[in-house]
Amino acid sequence: MDFGLTGKRAVVVGASKGLGGASAVALAMEGAVVIALSRSGTLPDGLAPEVAARMSARALDLADEAAVAAFCDEIRADPVQILVNNCGGPPAGPARGQTREAWRKAFESMAMPMFALTDAALDGMVAAGWGRIVTIGSSGIEVPIPGLVLSNGVRGAIAGWSKTLAAEVAAHSVTVNMVLPGRIATDRLAQLDAIRARNSGQDMAAVEAEARATIPAGRYGRPEEFGAVVAFLCSQQASYVTGSMIRVDGGATRSH
């Protein structure tokens, strides 16, 4: 199936590795011209030459408000058709005892850059009458993950923003969706598993086996499986999918 993305300009945030990297690669494989943003300013490892040729790496630290504002000015002047929002997770921790400063830092580092980048990208999308906004979230939006209250809370706010925005721009043929990963085999997941192992006194193998037992698919997801869903949501064929949250979690979320 041809997704109709050849020549479309895309910005993917957090694209040097992990879920953002997989999303950037999936878009480039479909013919999109991808600007891969990350703090390191590097492309994902192991790219095929034909995929790397459609990608360019840019260094951008979402915590640098001035740098984010400057990049927003760039994409207003030279519009993109696709934006994949992505951000790292805040420190793990319980709901009790979180300080005002901790909540402020989590919101300003996760949500505010997404809002700014999206507003900037939307100017060109609305003017052209076509665009795709995809935000990478977390299964914790639907079923809060124990010990990750800052992530659960801020990503929940982002979900409300995404749904509201979808209704505002749908008439301009701009879609706005979220993709909610479950346990996808990334460095971030390994970090969280290591924290869980340390706190429980178990070894990593036991923690991973326990987690896999809660997933109907019986395994962790692969980043490329996640990236494929992002690419589809950016496709011409997905033009009637907006305001949605798509789970990529092997069936682990069972609340709805």
Q: Convert the pLDDT of each residue in 169-217 to its tens digit.
A: 999 999 999 999 988 988 777 777 787 788 888 888 888 888 888 899 9
pTM for this structure?
0.93
Q: Which residues of 113-129 are buried (b: 16+ CB within 10 A; e: fewer)?
A: bbebbbebbbebbbeee
pLDDT score, position 255: 67
* Burial of 223 (C-beta count, 10 Å sphere; 0-12/13-18/19+): buried
Phi/psi zone of residue 224: left (φ > 0), alpha (ψ -120 to 50 degrees), beta? alpha
Bridge partners of 205? none
- Residue 161: CB atoms within 10 A of its CB come to 17
- Distance of alpha carbon 191 from alpha carbon 193, whole angstroms: 5
Any residues with CB less than 8 A from the CB of 178 and at least 6 apart, and which?
134, 135, 136, 137, 141, 158, 159, 162, 244, 245, 246
Joined together, the tokens standing for residue 187 give 């460095």
- Across residues 228-247, what is the average pLDDT? 98
Are 219 and 212 spatial neighbours (Cβ–Cβ below 8 Å)?
yes
Joined together, the tokens standing for residue 254 give 């069972």
Mean of per-residue pLDDT scores for the chain? 93
Query: Taking 60 as the threshold, does the pLDDT of residue 85 lie above it?
Result: yes
Strand order in the sheet with 9-13: 55-59, 33-38, 9-13, 82-85, 131-136, 174-181, 245-248
Identify the band that residue 141 occupies on the pLDDT scale cut at 50, 70 and 90: very high
